[in-house]
A and B are shown apart, each in its own frame.
Chain A
Amino acid sequence: MMDMTFSPEWLHKVAKEEEDVRFSVGGWVHDLEKEFGPELTQADVTAQGEGSEIDLTDVLSEDADPKHVQSGNVFGQFLNLARRERGWSVQELAHMISMNAYDVLLLESGKERPELRIISKVAKVFGVPSRKLAEIAGLMIPDQTTAKAALAFAASSSTKPLEPEQKEALHEFLRALAGM
């Protein structure tokens, strides 16, 4: 059991010393601003502050619809296909971008949204513009061209025939489910 009993003198001392401390460990963004552009701050503050993807439409200048991008898990699909196209395992990619394999799987499946620092690493690994990746991940507002391209990518990816080994894995999974 933890003992969180500390002396009153220490607590008062810490209260004073803590006054100007920035405890937000884990949230570094300023270096990323240099990479993603100066308008990141204002655009993302608007988008994140509303707490809803739908509210993003309020700040769109044209008719690009980020909902299409986000609902299609375009970033996850991109990550999955680009990794496989290079013949890398999840573990190999995870090592390259300093993540664990489980987190990479969460990104690929769209269950977790990537942070900007991860997008920055992914962009370097695959040689794509980090800003565009941030747009398709729903962290920045995409322009009309990007939004349309992302939607087309998501739609085409979902209809691509399965590779033989994927088919076999699927059938094996279905057999396992049927036997449960």
Chain B
Amino acid sequence: MRVPAQIVDLARGAIVDAVLFDDVTADHFIQTQREWRPMVVEATRRMIKRGVAPELQPTHWHWNWENKSVQLGQFGLSFYGIECAGQLQGLMKVDLAKYSARIPTQKGAELAYIDYLEAAPWNHREIASELGEKRRYAAVGTNLFAAAVQLSQQAGFEGRVGLHSLPHPQTEQFYQKTCRMMPLERDSAKQGLLYFETTPELAELFLSEARK
């Protein structure tokens, strides 16, 4: 599946065409290791050298998408990517099999759990800035989230989506206000991260606001 999408080119302040796709391959993972990881690692190194507090450093420098190669095509897992200007701008892994809803009114219902989501480092303000660059594209992560909502609807899960947010006030606020997710609980099984979830109604609200 490849569908047209749009993201924001921050240098021009303009909306530009992108492509959302689900035919993610091991080559995409290798691409993240070659093109993304060195930037994240270098930014983290510089932050460590400058004495930036650990909580302000990137938390995903150790990720290796290549480790997920064996999961491509695995039952219950979906991978999505966004491309623009010939480059991979974001990547997401969604688990449709392992998790169920926790909101009391939805308890036990099936949902799409966003297991991994990463925007390219040049779309991350703190990383780009540390490397003396400007953030290039915006709305990549939100587009991927919108894809997860629609995947949930298509799978018959009525738009229910769950995820654990990084412990970062602006990020937690974003999931609540922009993505219309409900904050539920600090999850002791996930290092105390705040768990967020949508109901079918909140998922519809999110999509209707995006299309207004």
A25-B163 contact, Cβ under 8 Å, with A11-B139, A14-B142: yes
The residue on A at minimum CB distance from B20 is A4
- Tell me whether A30 and B115 are in contact (CB under 8 A): no
User: In this assembly, does B150 line the interface, its C-beta being within 8 Å of a C-beta of chain A?
Assistant: yes
Q: Kindly count the residue-residue contacts between A and B in the assembled complex, taking CB atoms under 8 Å apart.
A: 180
A48-B150 contact, Cβ under 8 Å, with A15-B10, A27-B166: no
User: In this assembly, does B146 line the interface, its C-beta being within 8 Å of a C-beta of chain A?
Assistant: yes
Q: Interface code B90-130, partner A: CB below 8 Å = 1, 0 otherwise? A: 10010000100000000000000011111100001100000
Tell me if B's interface is mostly helix, strand, loop or mixed: mixed
Size category of the A interface is 35 or more
The residue on B at minimum CB distance from A9 is B212
A48-B37 contact, Cβ under 8 Å, with A2-B1, A21-B171: yes
User: In this assembly, does B50 line the interface, its C-beta being within 8 Å of a C-beta of chain A?
Assistant: no
The residue on A at minimum CB distance from B145 is A23
Distance between Cα atoms of A49 and B5 in the complex (Å): 32
- Residues 1-58 of A at the B interface (beta carbon under 8 Å): 1-12, 14-33, 41-42, 44-45, 48-49, 51
List the interface of chain A (C-beta within 8 A of B): 1-12, 14-33, 41-42, 44-45, 48-49, 51, 98, 100, 102, 106, 111-113, 116-117, 139
Apart from A24-B166, A25-B115: 11 A-B pairs, beta carbons within 8 A: A1-B1, A4-B4, A10-B211, A11-B139, A19-B138, A26-B118, A41-B57, A49-B61, A111-B70, A112-B67, A113-B64
